[in-house]
Chain A
Amino acid sequence: MNGSAIGVSRPRHDAVLQVTGRALYGDDYERPGMLYAKALRSRHPHARILKVDTSRALKLAGVKAVITAEDVPKNRYGFTHLDQPVLADDKVRYMGDVVAVVAATSWDAATEALDQIEVDYLPLPAVFDPVEAMKPDAPKVHGDSNIVSHIKIRSGDVTEGWRISSEIVEDVMRTQVVEHCHIEPHAALAELTDDGTYVIWSTVQRPFLIASDLSRILQYPMNKIRVITPAIGGGFGGKNEITIEPYVCLLAAKTKRPVKMVLSREEEFCGTTVRHPYIVKYRSGVTKDGKIVARQVEIISDSGAYVSWGESTLSKASIHAAGPYFIPHVRIDGYLVYTNNSIGGAMRGFGVPQVGFAYECHMDNIAAVIGMDPLEFRYKNLLTDNSSLPTGQVLEFVTLRETVRKAVELVGWKKEVEWE
């Protein structure tokens, strides 16, 4: 009798709602008297803001309020670094920075009002290449250095590793910027109730992070902030942090009406986080019998204009950069660099797809150099039970070899494989 619920392909708990179209997503929520909010984003990748004049926009029919940086009680957020403004104040640091948000009685009225907001910018020199950004004379995005963090992992002694290697193979790989492309864009609706509670319906992966960030940004108690997640059309890390929730709350407080905001697909691309592009350098030493004895990795991660999840992403990438192989001598250096590009954030795999692409292609290149079959070369070096990682963590219950054998069983390999 026991065990009936586990290991069984139960239908999803919301299957009927989903297939009958009755599941309510972010933009499906409405409240009486609701207003619609649209954001004005930067016109420059890097500029000082001299003046923001909203007076002409406020005179337009249907426009109920416009918020700027002055309206935000605590205008900075971030996970490891509080470097990102809710609304740009002193500077804009990338094209997606929001300078003002309008609430109006229709989407059209809100959109038209954006053209009537006057912003005086003083354009500043910008930097788009992370390697250039690391140089001392590069334009600075924040403070006096663009290098935000340097993650180090050290295990054994790579100098000794090179000495005992019979071949040393080097590769440089680059990964691109990709967007999450969750099919449902960010949507949020806020209502300030009669008892002074903000109720926010928002398409987020982390409602409690939104609640605690809102509490700090709005300087408002958490028991008066209620974040509710509707049905969500995908996240992949793109809905992992606060985005439009402060705007709808501030505008709801200012207008005493519920306010909704939904990002367009274009805004999803231009104004939300993306997967960090990495430049990854690999150098590995192998012995004659195909054992990897040393690996050195350098990662340069383009954080864009703010850190967001960049440091934790780079940390995860660095921890996994040696790959699922036992290598006694490892040296990994990861650099996170500010530029005036789009912000790298959390995205499915959190830095590891970038290094994973690099280390697995590097593995094939090494196999080619030493004339071994790529599968057999991997199999010889894979982590097994009680292998230790470059962090010193010892792994248990390792099934890498089982997964290789299973994959071969499913589609075969280029040749017959003799398993050790």
Chain B
Amino acid sequence: MKKRGKGIACMFYPIGFTSYPNPGSAFVKVNQDGTAVVFTGATDMGQGSTTVLAQIAAEELGIRYEHITMVTGDTEKTPFDLGSVASRVTYIVGNAVKRAAHEAKRILLEVAAEKLGVSPDGLCAGDGRIYIKGLPERFLEISEVARIAQMGKGRPPIGSGSFNPITTFLDPETGHGKPYGAYVFATQIAEVEVDTETGVVEVLRIAAAHDCGKAINPMLVEGQVEGGISMGVGYGLFEEMVLDNGVVKNPQFTDYILPTSLDMPEIRVGIIERPEPTGPFGAKGIGEPSLLPTAPAIINAIYDAVGVRIRELPATPEKILKALRETDQGKA
């Protein structure tokens, strides 16, 4: 018989290293044609962080996204970054990029202010232009301002920036302290169908509601959530590296079972945005948190469906059948 159930799991998760300083840094230069290059040590392993950093630079500089070039992950060419870990790149390196871009922009604003006859604080940058706040029709092209700044005034529009969240170490006896700068939150609900004859679990759908402060790039946030859920499905139902007296018994993908697209449920992603004042444009992070609620939501859904509690991951068909038999015997 196939039985359906629903399970819920909530989580909170921090952005950045626990207590230890974990700074990020960036350089920005605006070329005299109004394009720009951002240099940062942060690398992209596929999650899309470099794209997000380019969007942050574009927004701060007022230069089109397509006109930003990213130079990343080269310890000789780029300033220090701690690394693409701890869900920290958008929040920490994003802030560093924003600060570096702000410094370069300041030079452009000062040069433009002279031409437009206003104070630099009365100007803003957007869409490749520098314009008077509230009077967008009075503008200069950033390309023109950058050329004047560099070749006319002798002031190349460059900037550098770094950011490190304010944290403290924990007291070794009480664990008290402030280990993180910001937290994110999420809830997932899983709906499963359990075959009581085979113990096989099919995850039908998962709702994933995640707060990431501000989604700089909603498509990439959804991508991270979907990827995290696939990892959570594997953690909950399939994956286990079996060690026997220290020897790995299944060191290949024939016996170590990863979820495939056929195992993936329908996923409904809900992005909650409550801007974090210390984040770049309110953003925090999403990388790791996306995986966290998936496995317990599935295990709780199995409990709801067939009344068996799996206490050891993964919830393989064998474990579910064994638990079902024990439950039956208990009733008999």
Interface residues of A (CB under 8 A from B): 1-14, 45-46, 94-95, 126, 128, 151-155, 171-179, 181-182, 204-211, 222, 225-229, 232-237, 239-240, 265-266, 268-270, 274, 312, 315-316, 318-320, 323-324, 332, 340-342, 346, 348-350, 352-353, 356-357, 359-361, 364-365, 374-375, 378, 382-383, 390-393, 395, 397-400, 402-411, 413-414
Contact = CB atoms under 8 A, between A and B. Distances in A.
Interface string B135-165: 0100000000000000000000000000000
A4 B19 CA distance: 35
B292 A352 contact: yes
A10 B55 CA distance: 8
B43 A207 contact: yes
27 contacts: A1-B129, A10-B55, A10-B219, A12-B50, A95-B248, A155-B174, A155-B176, A173-B311, A174-B311, A176-B313, A179-B241, A205-B83, A206-B82, A269-B241, A316-B14, A320-B12, A349-B289, A350-B288, A353-B235, A356-B293, A357-B313, A360-B293, A375-B8, A382-B10, A390-B175, A392-B177, A407-B208
Interface stretch (B105-113, B114-122, B179-187, B322-330): B179-187
Nearest 9 pairs between A and B by C-beta?
A: A206-B83, A45-B246, A153-B175, A229-B73, A360-B296, A9-B219, A269-B251, A406-B209, A410-B207
A319 B18 CA distance: 9
A9 B251 contact: no
A395 B183 contact: yes
Interface string B275-315: 01000010000011101110111011001100001111110
Contacts of B54: 10, 13
A403 B46 contact: no
Chain B interface bracket (under 10, 10 to 19, 20 to 34, 35 or more):
35 or more
A10 B214 contact: no
A207 B41 contact: yes
B9 interface: yes
A348 B246 contact: no
Contact of A356 (B56, B274, B292): B292
Contact of A319 (B127, B175, B231): B175
Chain B CB within 10 Å — which of A7, A205, A269 has the most?
A7
A72 to B, nearest CB: 21
Interface stretch (B27-35, B193-201, B252-260): B252-260
B124 interface: yes
B70 A226 contact: no
Given A181-B253, A206-B84, A393-B179, 6 more contacts: A4-B127, A174-B313, A269-B256, A270-B251, A312-B18, A360-B10
A232 to B, nearest CB: 4
Chain A CB within 10 Å — which of B72, B231, B276 has the most?
B231
Contact of A154 (B46, B174, B295, B311): B174
Nearest to B73: A229
A344 to B, nearest CB: 11
A239 B81 CA distance: 15
Nearest to B175: A153
Nearest to B289: A349
A178 B239 contact: yes
B332 interface: no
Contacts of A378: 8, 10
A266 B131 CA distance: 59
Given A178-B234, A204-B43, A229-B73, A324 B296 contact: no
Nearest to A151: B175
Contacts of A204: 43
Contacts of B58: 4-5
Given A152-B173, A228-B73, A403-B211, A341 B246 contact: yes
A94 B246 contact: yes
Given A360-B300, A403-B186, A4 B74 contact: no
Given A6-B281, A356-B293, A342 B243 contact: yes
Chain B CB within 10 Å — which of A208, A232, A346, A395 has the most?
A208
A10 B51 contact: yes
B178 A393 contact: yes
Contacts of A207: 41, 43, 73-75, 83
A323 B217 CA distance: 29
Contacts of B70: 13
A284 B258 CA distance: 34
B284 to A, nearest CB: 9
Contacts of A239: 45
Nearest to B9: A360
B240 A208 contact: no
Chain B CB within 10 Å — which of A206, A320, A375 has the most?
A206
Given A5-B55, A226-B75, A403-B210, A413 B13 contact: no
Chain A CB within 10 Å — which of B46, B211, B251, B274 has the most?
B46
Contacts of A349: 13, 288-289, 291-292
